[in-house]
Amino acid sequence: MKISLLAGKPAPPGILVDVPRLIAAYYTGVPDPAVPAQRVAFGTSGHRGSSFNLAFNEAHVLAITQAICLYRARQKISGPLFLGIDTHALSAPACATALEVLAANQVEVMIAEGDDYTPTPVISHAILTYNRGRKTGLADGIVITPSHNPPHDGGFKYNPPNGGPADKTVTGWIEAKANALLETHLEGVKRMPYERALRAPTTHRHDYLKAYVNDLGNVINMDVIRSAKLRLGVDPLGGAGVHYWARIAERHALDLTVVNDAVDPTFRFMTVDWDGQIRMDPSSPYAMARLIGMKDRFDLSFACDTDHDRHGIITPDDGLLPPNHFLAVAISQLFQNRPKWTKKAAIGKTAVSSAMIDRVTAKLGRKLYEVPVGFKWFVDGLLDGSLGFGGEESAGASFLRLDGSVWTTDKDGFIPCLLAAEITARTGRNPGEIYRGLTQEFGEPFYDRVEAPATPWQKAVLAKLSLEQIKLTELAGEKIEAMHTRAPGNHVALGGVKVVTASGWFAARPSGTEDIYKIYAESFRDEAHLRKILEEAQTVVSAALTKDATPKMAPLSPAPHQKTAREAVETWENEGDPN
């Protein structure tokens, strides 16, 4: 990947988004559903795009919201819908549009007091809190956010009554219905003026902040943090959690400083990401350069992305920890310090996360539940407690409450940050120090991810890559132990391929949100071995994607059954660990 000369530097005025033009384009742009890039498309985390290129306009939001109303009626979801937004420029206009449709459809809607921003995990928490003990009249939610995407993007996510990201069955139905509405010029969309929608008897105010902040002591040991008197710093990166952190500090008596509480839809206070764009990614050392520069002011500092479902942890000695490092530390510490969690609770990871997690899991004597990319695969396990933890290499995670019951079924950026403080307070060592201890015990991994542009055709080819197309018996000088096109944990298609040896692996897959493909690789030997793995992986991908190739688009062998986390644990107990 070519690193921009602007990477890690303050954003120059010339790259800031023109907010008035962006919002004008939202209202005036008319997408053409005959153009694939202008249709509704739910990727790994909702529908995303920019109004500038007719990918996120009022018509999209009208169609998606009406489709969700129809889905709710079809599924007899009659409880309240919890509606939240982040701080992207397109989020507030999209929220107004969505409310006009929801009110016209007589949906009971819960919006934030004071029109405050509402993080993704807070919506999940609200849904689950409302639904606890209920069998009927269940709640669901919408979060209007493109996550950490650049300021010109908008996004729209639906969370069904399980509180987590909707699975493909749900999003597929909503997507198809929304596109059908676009094709009929929005015929059938119900709508009322915004001022009427605000005053509608079905529109209610909800104190999201108080409910979430007051409950944090049931998932994190706040007493331990408070007693240690740690100096904590946090940068909300101008995101939806901007008003939450000060209340967390006040409610739980923590020495926590919010280093930047600015909200600006241009995000001009950010340092530029690796590719020359502004991106609120707490796992990027370029986007986090400002907070990294403050690392010596605090015992621990952290940040979250714009909708606060991803985390970044900074220590004085190590700077920004790679997400894989903290995931391994979090798992190691959680499963040794949560005595009320069931001994059967498994550990969930995505297939592209570090194999250090596999080694830590084995040492703990727990089941590893390895799934494709996408937090939706952890929802059922977190909900029923068969998963104690679910995490992604892209810095998304959630875990159970102290008593072993569900906290959120969507990614939560707050609790990994607070867990880092709990770990530091309890052990006297920060997560970077603990990770170095893990490398002494299990070996030091070298991990990297590379990205490259890909056409829709190339992405489709890579997603359907068959094992027969991979002419390898060795990888970087080692015998191949396994090749997967389905995840070992739940038997679901990876949408790509993963090749594993005794001391390394690579995985290749198309992006679910951008026209790129990604190659992930890891070596437990050294940097040179990692580069060799990446080189050979690139050869495999290039051969599959060449225009002269006629790759077999053979269907995957049918999986007998998509396994839930609970079923995977039962199989492990009865037949031994299949991973």
Residue 312: both structure tokens together: 């970044």
Interacting residues of 107 by C-beta distance below 8 A, sequence separation 6+: 69, 72, 81, 202
pLDDT value of position 576: 65
pLDDT value of position 547: 54
- The Cα 238–Cα 306 span in angstroms is 7
| Residues forming beta bridges with residue 506, ordered by sequence position | 499, 521
Per-residue pLDDT of the chain (579 residues; tens, 9 = 90+): 689 999 999 999 999 999 999 999 999 999 999 999 999 999 877 999 999 999 999 999 999 999 999 999 999 999 999 999 999 999 999 999 999 999 999 999 999 999 999 999 999 999 999 999 999 999 999 999 999 999 999 999 999 999 999 999 999 999 999 999 999 999 999 999 999 999 999 999 999 999 999 999 999 999 999 999 999 999 999 999 999 999 999 999 999 999 999 999 999 999 999 999 999 999 999 999 999 999 999 999 999 999 999 999 999 999 999 999 999 999 999 999 999 999 999 999 999 999 999 999 999 999 999 999 999 999 999 999 999 999 999 999 999 999 999 999 999 999 999 999 999 999 999 999 999 999 999 999 999 999 888 888 899 999 998 888 888 899 999 999 999 999 999 999 999 999 999 999 999 999 876 778 999 999 999 999 999 999 999 999 998 888 544 444 344 445 556 777 777 767 766 666 555
- Is residue 567 within 8 Å of residue 575, measured between CB atoms? no
Q: Is residue 353 flagged as an active site residue? A: no
Residue 325: both structure tokens together: 């490092």
Among the listed residues 50, 147, 354, 394, the single catalytic one is 147
Please report, for residues 8, 237, 283, the alpha-carbon distance to residue 290 in angstroms, rounded to integers and kept in the order given: 8, 10, 13
pLDDT value of position 554: 40
pLDDT value of position 553: 39
- Reference 332, options 345, 347, 315, 311; nearest CA is 347
Q: What is the pTM of this model?
A: 0.95
The burial of 522, by beta-carbon neighbours within 10 Å (0-12 exposed, 13-18 middle, 19 or more buried), is given as: buried
